[in-house]
A and B are shown apart, each in its own frame.
Chain A
Amino acid sequence: MSTVTASHIRKKYPRAQALDDVSLDVEEGDIFGIIGPDGAGKTTLFRILTTLILPDEGSATVNGLDVVKDYMKIRAQVGYMPGRFSLYQDLTVEENLNFFASVFNTTLKENYELVKDIYQQIEPFKTRRAGALSGGMKQKLALCCALIHKPSVLFLDEPTTGVDPVSRKEFWSMLKRLKKQGISILVSTPYMDEASLCDRIALIQNGKFLKTETPKNIVKDFGSELWSVKSDNMSKLLKDLRLNKEVETCFAFGDAHHVTYKHEFLKEEELKAYLTNMEHTNIYITQIQANVEDCFMRLSGKYMI
């Protein structure tokens, strides 16, 4: 059964078409990732699905309820963690939680089991004002507040932006535990490496979904052979690879460059000879599986030199 659906949503702002014919379908109990850069339309989509703004065109449902007509019912059933820290800075950790609980006619005690895992990590600071917490702690408090009324669907708008890689991993393991409790989760992120942690993902750019698929199928559909190339001089290597007429695209990916070829396949020896001729040493060429970032760049039409 679908927990969240959207059908041909459009939303225009004076300066931009924020969403352009967006459709999606989130299965119950799934983690659905919306992946794309700032300004792609992620927040607009979340605001429509959480009934905070109206779409210009199209329709959407949450738990079978219409986001326009049934907005009051939806608000009681979903948890929303906005991108910007949205708690009361002058209230303490505990006061924030109690406030959000009371808004939904519940108490921390009543739903303690649900937030226990996360709340215990911030409990030592329960008398500290929210404004004085570190980034990671604020994020945990915001997640507790979004969960306090036992929502069946959780909307998390860029929960890991600006968060270091260790805390990001921790946050995702918290999401996995929530999923086990049967909560459906929509989460947006600009970090492509988080895609593999989702059941399904939608890649979004300029208000359009480029593709919606499981992470496995996205990379399977890359549609071209992809090669990883290294040498002792990586910055010269980037330029030299781009000078090669057979090379279609070449981009830096950490400690290697990812290369696609214009024609059917790459003749490793030929490329190696070309690079040796350009005075490269310790040349290393190997075929690899594309990752989600490769796919995003190719699909967004920016996978060009």
Chain B
Amino acid sequence: MDLEILIENVLNAVTAGITIGCIYGLMCIGLGLIFGIMRIVNFAQGELLMLGMFASFYLVTGGRVLSFLGPYWGPFIGALCAAPLLFAGGALIHKFLISRVSGLRTAGTLDEGHFGQLIVTLGISLILQNGGQILFGSTPVAVRTPLSSEAFLIGPVYGAATVFLNKAKLIAFFVAILVAIALYLTLEYTRLGKALRAAADNPTAATYMGIEVDSAYRIAFGLGAAITAVAGGLIATYISFGPFVGFDYVIIMYSGVVLGGMGSILGAFWGGLTVGFVQQFSALILPPQLQNAAIFVVFLMIVLLRPQGLFGRSAERA
């Protein structure tokens, strides 16, 4: 009997770890573009996620622009529609704020502009969080879909042990994987992707090769914002959230990116997946209040023990 419960718990943790982990993986790719490749420390990434959630919320539930799509398709289309909005938002943030403390302007300076980036993105984060509270209110909201309370049942596999696959999470999982693959192919095989990677790797050299570094950065930052926003929209289908939700996720994102190894898009995805697994398994043994603390501890362990990441290449040179 106890064994049945254990098996059921473990199996459910595995499936939840995979589904949620892949959504986290997508989220981490967004930060991976900005932090891993462009080396910009973006504190406001959690707030971009939050904006993605609210964009999806206002499109689907609040503003009802997409209500004609119905409660099944609507939330997921809404999540995808958050992408262009946040792409524009991210590009604007980069054009007016981030570009002044990053890229060519700070290449080769005392600390490569990290001080300035941390401060500016911290400021953006404060404005978006608190501005969000003014605009959206502090009452938690949710993108309503009946799918979030429905599940496919697999089993019973052992005795009465059954695996529950939440339908909202399952669809979100598929969408996340498709978006991640599309992005990977774009970056790996298109001209744009190559230009982005070149500009990120060595802005000065890329300029000499005729790449417009500033606009490449703007596109990369916008893409990073958009990808994270899509992940936010997907997460919004199964949790309720408020303007301060970004904070719970920003450490997950940094853990995933650092775990996967800086500068690697695939690594960021695997990193996010791993963090999702850790989170779901910690739920088996830890009380709910300590699950977030567990993620911080895991993050610290990763950074302290293996700063080059589990899947990463070499660490930065001294």
A, B assembled together: no
